[in-house]
Each structure stands twice: as C-alpha cells, then as structure tokens.
Structure 1
C-alpha cells in the first residue's frame, strides 16, 4: 500500500511538471527576481553543452523560415539553418572570439557574426548572446532587464539591443536536473522579429 501511494505521488508530480512545463505562460510578470531564481540560474549556467532541433522564422527586411540544428560544446558552437530562410543553407561555427559563416560559395570569418549576417544576408541572429538566451538566461557580463513568471523562469529579457519574450517552456529530461527549458521565444530588434521554436533538446555531443 505504501509503495502504491508513493507511485501515485510520483505520477502526480510528473503530470504537474509536464503541464506546467508545456503550458503557455500566464499571469502577470514580476520584475523582482523570485527566491528560486538563483538556484535555477546556477543549474542553467552549469549546462556547458547541449544540442537542439528546432525552427526559426523571421519577419522584417527579409522574411522566411528555416530548420535549425544547433550543437553547443562549451564555448564552441555549430548552427545550421536550412530552408527558404536565407535562400539556402547557412552554417555558423565558432567560439566566443571568432565565427565562420558558410553560405553557398561564400566563407566569411568574423569577430561579429551578428553584424556580418545582417550586412551579407539581410537578416541576423545574436549568435553570441543566443547561446544563453535559448536556455532562459541573460548573457553574462552585460546589463540586462528581466521579468519572471511565477515558476522563477524568465518571462521577458532586454539585453544588447534585443527584447526576448519567452512564450512557452517544456520539460527537457535530456538536460536534467533542469526539467523545463524554453520551447518558444521571440526576439525583436527594430523592424526585425525572429521566432525560435525548439522541437527537441538533446545532450551535447
């Protein structure tokens, strides 16, 4: 009987986590960091490597959508965008110091991938900051304005000229012990709006 009761409690907790993790955010945002934010921030910051599959869409000077494959290993990253967005596949590989952008027959080496993407392709991603934002964290060593939901998760973030809105979280057992990570988020800067949808989180390889 005691074993059955524990099993029921565990099942109920799992269902609650699933529901809270996959539901769109509701209720008012709060500017003051909740008590649980520090622990969550430390757990997220400890994720040095991850992989994800998802989709990206953009509206602005250039509009379109693309499939996204992202692999992060410590400071090294690889982002592959394939589809109509950017009129062909784009591969961005780099570190915090330098990035290589491959598109069609072009190979560009830059210390500012955000500006290079904008000037060469007409759209951009904040590559150096997105590594943190995609986990639900402000990028370190840069001022940021933040708002939180009732579960101590980022709701809104303004940093480096971008505004990030977190629209939905989902459970991500592949990156335990952090069980809920962003699923849908939107990034805006001026006329450019970029939406990211994460279909699947994976451990880094």
Structure 2
C-alpha cells in the first residue's frame, strides 16, 4: 500500500472532498520510564521482525487525503509480496480504477490517461506520471506499523502510548500516527497490524482506515502478486 500513490490517483480522478474517512485525533504519546521504554522498544523490534518475516501482506480499506488545496477519497487495495507490490485505487462514484504494480525490477501504472506507463525507477515513473514524489518502499513498511529501511529513508524516531504500543513514527520528513490497532493476537499468531493511520508531511495529509488485513501464514509458500 502506498499512501502517496493513492493520493496521486485520487487527484487524477478529481474526487470529492474527504468525507468517507472520519477524522480522529492522534493517540497521546508519553515519555515512558527507562525500563518501560526499553521494553516497548524491544517489543517493537520483535513485532517488526515478525511483520518482515511474513511472505505476503494484503489489505483493503478506505483512504482520504489532501495536498493543502485539493482532496479526495476512495477505496484502496494493497498487496505486498516481499519487495513486490500491487496497489489498486477505485473511485467511489465513477468506479474508475487505477493500479501500480512492480518491485525492485521496475514498475507499471495502468488506468491513467494516455495508457500504461512503465519504468525501471518507480519514483521517477510516478513523478513524471503524476507530479508527486512518492516513497514507495517506505510506505509499505509504515502502513504495516514498521520503520522503513534506514538505507532507504534514513533514521526514524518513534513514540509510544502509555501502554507501550507504537503511536508515532517520524521518518524522511513524514509523521505517521497510529490511531488504532488490531487486538493483540494469541501466542504464535501473526502480529497485530494498524487499522487507522494518519500521515502528514508539509501540506500532504493522509487518512487510512483498514477494513481487513490478510497476513499470510509465515510457513506458507511465497505467492506472486
């Protein structure tokens, strides 16, 4: 799932104001005591490792965003298989759909005016096609409640709520607030994933509600998107 990818598509579709994803204030972050902070950091690292070990993650939900001037909302589906991704956005009224798929080898956009577009550099491809700077690799990690690879997006700062759960990530100029999570899973189950996320960098604002996550069984064969 790439939130800024969705933003570009929404602007292309010229959707109406963001009304399908209600606004909710961020969770309150707290300064934990040293022992509690160390425990929260250890649990975050373990959860991130479990997320990254999953061969596949998929979700569908609702996304809304604005860039300081325009805004829009729509349905979004995201499939991540290792470094490969497929993102589909659907307009609520026209039922138009737009799709980005690719990975380290390059990417392809379908559904925009002018026909399919392909390129080896996904960031350049999306900038030329939509005019947006889109951190594809980072957003996949952020959406799943993990810090992005430091070699891609630089160091990250994190903050926790009073219970020690991740409440905020600041990385590459973005602030990602986690408003709701799935319930804590049973022992041995897939890790809990976010269900409400707010993200902001400058005038760009994004709200995401995940209606359903589908994490794959870590022992299952890797699928191709």
Does the alignment reach a TM-score above 0.5?
yes
2:27 touches 2:178 (CA, 8 Å); kept in 1? no
Question: Does residue 1:106 correspond to 2:119, yes or no?
Answer: no
* CA distance in structure 1 between the aligned counterparts of 2:130 and 2:92, rounded to whole angstroms: 12
Q: CA 1:117 to 1:30, structure 2 compared with 1: closer, same or farther past 3 Å?
A: farther
1:152-187 deviation digits (Å, cap 9, x = unpaired): 4321111122211111112386xx623421001011
2:118 touches 2:125 (CA, 8 Å); kept in 1? no
Q: How many residues align?
A: 181
SS of corresponding position for 2:140: helix
Q: CA 1:115 to 1:148, structure 2 compared with 1: closer, same or farther past 3 Å?
A: farther
Displacement after TM superposition at 1:128 (Å)? 1.6
1:51-109 deviation digits (Å, cap 9, x = unpaired): 11111111124311111111111111100011059994210101134221122343222
Unaligned runs of 5+ in 2: 1-24, 217-222
Unaligned runs of 5+ in 1: 1-23
Aligned residue runs from structure 1 range 88-127, under 5 A: 88-104=96-112, 105-114=114-123, 116-117=125-126, 120-121=129-130, 125-127=134-136
* CA distance in structure 1 between the aligned counterparts of 2:163 and 2:94, rounded to whole angstroms: 36
Question: Does residue 1:202 correspond to 2:214, yes or no?
Answer: yes
Structure with max Cα Rg: 1
Displacement after TM superposition at 1:188 (Å)? 1.1
* CA distance in structure 1 between the aligned counterparts of 2:156 and 2:94, rounded to whole angstroms: 29
Question: Does residue 1:54 correspond to 2:55, yes or no?
Answer: no
Question: Does residue 1:139 correspond to 2:148, yes or no?
Answer: yes
Equivalent in the alignment of 1:161: 173
* CA distance in structure 2 between the aligned counterparts of 1:115 and 1:189, rounded to whole angstroms: 19
Displacement after TM superposition at 1:30 (Å)? 3.8
2:202 to 163, 168, 190: 190
1:99 touches 1:113 (CA, 8 Å); kept in 2? yes
TM-score by length of 1: 0.73
Equivalent in the alignment of 1:129: 138
Computed over aligned residues only, the root mean square deviation of the Cα atoms, in angstroms, reads: 3.1
* CA distance in structure 2 between the aligned counterparts of 1:109 and 1:146, rounded to whole angstroms: 35
Query: Following TM superposition, where does structure 1 have runs of at least 4 consecutive aligned residues deviating by more than 6 angstroms?
Result: none
Aligned residue runs from structure 1 range 170-181, under 5 A: 170-171=182-183, 177-181=189-193
Displacement after TM superposition at 1:137 (Å)? 0.4
Q: CA 1:111 to 1:155, structure 2 compared with 1: closer, same or farther past 3 Å?
A: farther
